[in-house]
Structure 1
Amino acid sequence: MKVIFDGDELAARAGERLLDVARRNGLPLEGTCNGDLACATCHVIVDADWFAKLPAAREEEEDMLDLVADARRTSRLACQIVLTPEFDKLSVSLP
């Protein structure tokens, strides 16, 4: 399967977090807390067509996104997006 970051297609595996795909490909997503929902350094903007297809963000993720200065309606944390085959060609961008 593939995910699309800022127009570039990247290989991904089902069950993998979007953050791990970004790291493996050298994208500038820190993920400082490694997915423990203690930061928002893996903030991404999900393409509007894909946003509603993702599971809803948990309250803890929403709390972290409240701290992001450039958050948008379709903002998510890449550490909280676990890829499934339904998300093939998921499109996101870096803020």
Structure 2
Amino acid sequence: MATIEVITRDGGRIEIEGAADVSVMEAIREAGVDELLAMCGGCCSCATCHVYVEVAGEALPPLGLDEDDLLDSSAYRTDRSRLACQLAVRDMGARCRIRIAPED
């Protein structure tokens, strides 16, 4: 289990626990945070799980081509942008901070 601090769009902070074998998107949704739409269910085809990784304890895996293309469609992309469906909790370290990106 890892502790994920989720910062919502209005600046609220929620600490959740995520199992190592799920994606960050799944952990956030399972915790009841409904701001993260994740309309495609984690198939890397919609970019509605766009987040900013503010703190991670490990080196994150590089962006895949599909993830990179989808993030290009966001007006809010930054160098910290990732799709939560493409991040495994096990790759985030024991504690991390994720900010939900503004909705496009």
What TM-score range do you get, normalising by the shorter chain? 0.7 to 0.9
Q: Structure 1: state its 5+ residue gaps.
A: none
Counterparts of 1:40 and 1:86, CA distance in 2: 20
Offset of residue 26 of structure 1 = 2.1
User: C-alpha displacement at 1:86, in angstroms?
Assistant: 5.5
* Maintained 8 Å contact 2:52/2:81: yes
Query: Is this contact kept in 2: 1:65–1:71, CA < 8 A?
Result: yes
Secondary structure (helix, strand or coil) at the match of 2:97 reads strand
Uncovered stretches (5+) of structure 2, i.e. residues with no partner: 8-12
Pick the structure with more helix per residue. Answer: 1
Q: Which runs of 4+ in 1 moved over 2 A?
A: 49-52
Q: RMSD over aligned Cα, in angstroms?
A: 1.9
Structure 1 pair 43–12 and aligned structure 2 pair: CA distance change class (3 A): same
Residue by residue over 1:40-89, the C-alpha shift from the partner in whole angstroms, topping out at 9 and shown as x without a partner, is 00000011x43972111101100000011111111000000011176211
1:61 aligned residue: 67
Taking structure 1 as reference, are residues 76 and 51 closer, same or farther at Cα in structure 2, changes over 3 Å only? farther
| Count of residue pairs the alignment pairs up | 94
Which is further off, 55-64 or 84-93?
84-93
The whole-number CA distance in structure 2 between the counterparts of 1:62 and 1:86 is 19
Identity %: 29
So what's the TM-score if we normalise by structure 1? 0.88
Residue number among 6, 9, 23 corresponding to 1:17 in the alignment: 23
User: More strand per residue: 1 or 2?
Assistant: 2
Residues 1:3 and 1:67: Cα distance change in structure 2 (over 3 Å): same
Report the TM-score, using the length of structure 2 for normalisation.
0.81
- Equivalent positions of 1:14-53 (< 5 A) are 14-27=20-33, 28-47=35-54, 49-50=55-56, 53=59
